[in-house]
Amino acid sequence: MLKVHHLNQSRSQRVLWALEELKLPYEIVHYQREKTMLAPDALKKVHPLGKSPVLDDNGLIIAESGAILEYLEEYYDPTHQLQPQDKEQKLKYRFWLHYAEGSLMPLLLMKLIFGRLGKPPVPFGLRTLGNALGQGVQKAYLNKQIETHARFIEAELAHTPWFAGENLSMADVQMSFPVFALLSRGGIDNLPNLKAWKTRVEMRPAWQTAIEKGGPFTLPGE
Ligand SMILES: N[C@@H](CCC(=O)N[C@@H](CS)C(=O)NCC(=O)O)C(=O)O
């Protein structure tokens, strides 16, 4: 039996969504974020990094969302419902699968962290300095980078409804976390294609069932 170690409000929403799209039976082991937003130590007993998601396939432990989605695709999607077979589309599929965590998420995580340097748990006496530093880094570097990425993704989605073509694929599943984060905290306006893609995602019954089972997905932070 497949078992998902699922942290609330986290990247493991992607794995639940993929499993629902593939109509596979699975169990969820729920973990709640600590006040710090970190995962509880119990997750380190499942995998040394203590991050979510982790998939357990009859004792085979798989961490890292992209690796989990590729695993599900390879062993649990015999008809390739979630992977294009055309060469060009497959190249796009692979690009987005890597890009989501390799390029886009680090920028969004940095924005989250630098945006919090003026707030608790930073000690009171350091918050003014922290805030100035955080805002400075965002202004001088991060915001421009995020804008470039947002415009790139927006332009890509002008051609097709889904990231790797006409059909939903694991590329969309993997991109869901960063795109939702980008729209909620990226600070970039005028992204109609991204917003329309998000609406298409939210309308999918499999997405909705994943939320019913895993809990709300509103991205308050890491
Ligand atoms: N690149 C990893 C990132 C895993 C990750 O950072 N997960 C977050 C949840 S979105 C987490 O576990 N945060 C809690 C913590 O760091 O303690 C993946 O895609 O699986």
Residue pLDDT, tens place only, 52-106:
999 999 999 999 999 999 999 999 999 999 999 999 999 999 999 999 999 999 9
Distance 222 CA to ligand 1 centre (A): 7
| Domains of the chain with bracketed CATH | 2-82 (3.40.30.10), 87-204 (1.20.1050.10)
- Which tokens is 191 given? 């992204």
Q: CB-side exposure of 166: number of CA atoms within 13 Å?
A: 2
The pLDDT score that the predictor gives to residue 220 is: 57
Q: Where are the alpha helices (DSSP H) in the chain?
A: 12-21, 65-76, 87-99, 105-114, 127-137, 143-156, 170-185, 192-203, 205-214
Ranges in the chain, pLDDT < 70: 220-222
Q: CB-side exposure of 9: number of CA atoms within 13 Å?
A: 12
Cis peptide upstream of residue 53 (ω within 30 degrees of 0): yes
Whether the CB of 92 sits within 6 Å of ligand 1: no
d(Cα 137, Cα 177) in Å, to the nearest integer? 23
The pLDDT score that the predictor gives to residue 222 is: 42
Instruction: State the burial class of residue 108 (Cβ atoms within 10 Å of its Cβ: 0-12, 13-18, 19+).
Output: buried
The pLDDT score that the predictor gives to residue 219 is: 77
* CB 114 within 8 Å of CB 138: yes
Nearest CA to ligand 1 atom 5: 51
DSSP-assigned letters across all residues of 91-108: HHHHHHHHHIIIIIHHHH
* CB 69 within 8 Å of CB 44: no
The pLDDT score that the predictor gives to residue 185 is: 87
- Which tokens is 157 given? 């989605």
The pLDDT score that the predictor gives to residue 67 is: 98
d(Cα 23, Cα 2) in Å, to the nearest integer? 12
3-state secondary structure of 6: strand
Nearest CA to ligand 1 atom 11: 51
Whether the CB of 11 sits within 6 Å of ligand 1: yes
